[in-house]
Structure 1
Amino acid sequence: MVGTAKRTLISLLCIVLFVTALNPIIALGLKPSVYDEGMLFTEEEIKDLEDKANSLSNKYNMDIVILTTNDAKGKSSREYADDFFDYGGFGVGENYDGILFLIDMDNREVYISTSGTGISYLTDERRERVLDKVFNSGLGDGNYYGATIGFLEETQSFLENGIPSGQYNYPEPAPRPKNRLTSTDVILSLLGGLVFSSIFYFITSSRYKTPKSGNSFRFRNNSIVNLAQKEDKLVDTFVTFRTIPKPTNTSGSSGGRSTTHRSSSGRTHGGGGRKF
């Protein structure tokens, strides 16, 4: 009896080890990198995107997430992307390093959300170049797989180049609170304006009133007109030439600004999007 139980336990351990060897992702409890909620990819495309995203994630120690959706649940693309990243438990380290790429079919917008060092890698200028690559790779024609490959390729090139020198984060200004005027405010404003404008009119009008007087200047007798012909002659000319140097293109080596904002969770995110 003891021997049978022992053999059963050994068999179960072998099965666990076998499954672990075949599927290390499940064993380690790692999350997938592709979430095709909008059902835009085939199974083969998902597997390929998963492999490429995991490769970048492991190499640069940050989460690279690909997300599609047909229902943004009433949120903007930025809100949906940021919330999915934050509440989905993504981000490596204490700064939650990572980059999320969203194809939002509900708002018809593609959006890139960055966090942690992802903000430093993808500055505003670099982000726009990634979006250019996404559109040039077939997004407008419905080639969502090709557009996502374009995102991965262009992002990889910037990750390989490293964080640009002089990079800095710029928090976007907080939105001003919306003030509403009541009917009383409108009436008081109109009455006040009418009173002050009337006072100003009467004061100004009284200042410009002058007493009438006769014409004391005899213009017919005191006017002298002397007309003479005058000609200007060109004596000499000279021309000066100066070479204007062309501006130097330093976009590839200079630093850049990363505009940041706060998500609903209170974390700092960068990123931006573009309608399609």
Structure 2
Amino acid sequence: MKKQSIGIILAAALGVGSLFGTAIPGADTLFNTALPGTGAFTVQAASNSLGESDSEEEYDPYQDFAASGEFSLVQDEADLLTDEEESLLLDKLQTLTDEYGCEVAVATVESKKGYEMNFFTDHYFDENGYGLGEDYDGILFMVSIGDRKWHITTHGYARTAFNDDGLAYLKDNVEPLLKDEDFYGAFDTYTDLCGDLLEMAANGEPYTEPFSPKWIFISLGIGLVLAFLCTMGMRAQLKSVRPQDSAVDYVRKGSMDVTRSNDIFLYHTVTRTEKPKDDSSSGGSDSDHGGTGGSF
């Protein structure tokens, strides 16, 4: 009988506590009873052990540009190289990086995920910590195999060592190899040429495009055209009689008095030429990066 009385008292206490919205000690969930004057009930969600409500993982706006796996001067996510090729290439890139204090790297991906290739490469460089020193000196050669696109981005001192002429020189030598799908050959050639260009820049003479003999013929052609035009102009001045479009020169002055004249507009012709669109992806995407690129 005594045990039954104790049970009745505990049940009554719990009922009173729920009416006033109290929490049961040790419980994670707080139950609120009906609000005064209403028949509605409110329920407060349980909080976790840290005092925060459960939520989805926060979205990282730069996750599209993050490399998968540990950082390396050879980031072959598209698996275009064998293990041996990757090892050989990594040794050469590391040697260049250590010698000139400018990071020289290669990366491949399956897709640029819908971004412009230069934009994707620049952000890949930034978000994965490429570059050495305060100015993040470095150059990155990126290939997107699924899109058949490639791009080279430069930052810091690399923009001086790999100027526009130097980037054009790299493009002329690596793009044909990419089109032949000789990816190791393209990366190896890129590495060797980077070494040459860095050495020239270190000696105070960054690469400039050598003078081509074709400019001699172009200059001669321009000179001949100008000489022909001048000669024709002088020859025209020697003629005293020329064909006339009207008989005005044969009318005595004052013999005709025109009292009325009209200009009648007949028609006009408008010719429009569409401005050609530039689909080239060569060139850097922002003020911090230089670069060049293309398709293969």
Match of 2:178 in 1: 139
Residue 78 of structure 1 pairs with residue 98 of structure 2: no
- 2:132 corresponding residue in structure 1: 92
Residue 262 of structure 2 is matched in structure 1 by 208
**What root-mean-square deviation, in Å, do the aligned CA atoms of Structure 1 and Structure 2 show?**
2.4
For residue 107 of structure 2, what is the aligned residue in structure 1? 67
Alpha-carbon spacing, 1:121–1:209, altered in 2? closer, same or farther (3 Å): closer
Aligned to 2:199: 160
CA distance in 1 between partners of 2:79 and 2:71 (Å): 19
**2: distance between equivalents of 1:260 and 1:209?**
56
Residues 77 and 107 in structure 1, CA contact (< 8 A), matched pair in contact too:
no
CA distance in structure 2 between the aligned counterparts of 1:121 and 1:209, rounded to whole angstroms: 65
Residue of structure 2 in register with 1:190 after alignment: none
Deviations 1:129-168 (A, max 9, x none): 11111134x221111000111111111111111166599x
Cα-to-partner distance string for 1:208-253 (whole Å, 9 max, x where unaligned): 269xxxxxxxxxxxxxxxxxxxxxxxxxxxxxxxxxxxxxxxxxxx
2:93 & 2:150 partners in 1: Cα distance?
18
Distance 2:201 2:132 in 1: 18
How far did 1:207 drift?
6.8
- Which structure 2 residues correspond to residues 16-95 of structure 1 after superposition, within 5 A? 31-95=71-135
Structure whose alpha-carbon radius of gyration is higher: 2
Q: Report if aligned partners of 2:76, 2:109 keep a CA contact under 8 Å in 1.
A: yes
Structure 1 or 2: larger helix share?
A: 1
Is residue 272 from structure 1 mapped to residue 292 from structure 2 by the alignment?
A: yes
Give the % identical residues.
30
Measure the CA separation in 1 of the matches of 2:83 and 2:263: 89
Counterpart-to-counterpart distance in 2, 1:121 and 1:32 = 22
What does residue 226 of structure 1 align with?
Answer: none
| Contact map agreement 2:107 2:142 (CA 8 A) in 1 | yes
1:140–1:92 Cα change, 3 Å: same
In structure 2, stretches of 5+ residues that fail to align are: 1-69, 208-259, 265-282
Q: Which amino acid aligns with 2:153?
A: S
d(CA) in 1 for partners of 2:175, 2:73: 22
Q: Which residue of 1 aligns with 2:147?
A: 107
Secondary structure in 2 aligned to 1:44? helix
CA distance in 1, matches of 2:169, 2:99: 22
Distance 1:122 1:208, change over 3 A: same
Query: Could you say which structure has the greater relative contact order, defined with CA pairs below 8 angstroms and 6 or more residues apart?
Result: 1
* Residue 260 of structure 1, CA deviation: 5.6
Per the TM alignment, residue 65 of structure 1 is displaced from its structure 2 partner at its CA by 1.4
Aligned-partner Cα distance in 1 for 2:91–2:206:
33
Tell me the equivalent position of 1:126. 166
- What count of residue pairs does the alignment treat as equivalent? 156
**Runs of 4+ off more than 4 Å:** 163-167
Aligned to 2:226: none
State the Cα distance separating 1:79 from its structure 2 match.
1.3
* DSSP-derived class of the 1:162 partner: helix
Distance 2:163 2:116 in 1: 21
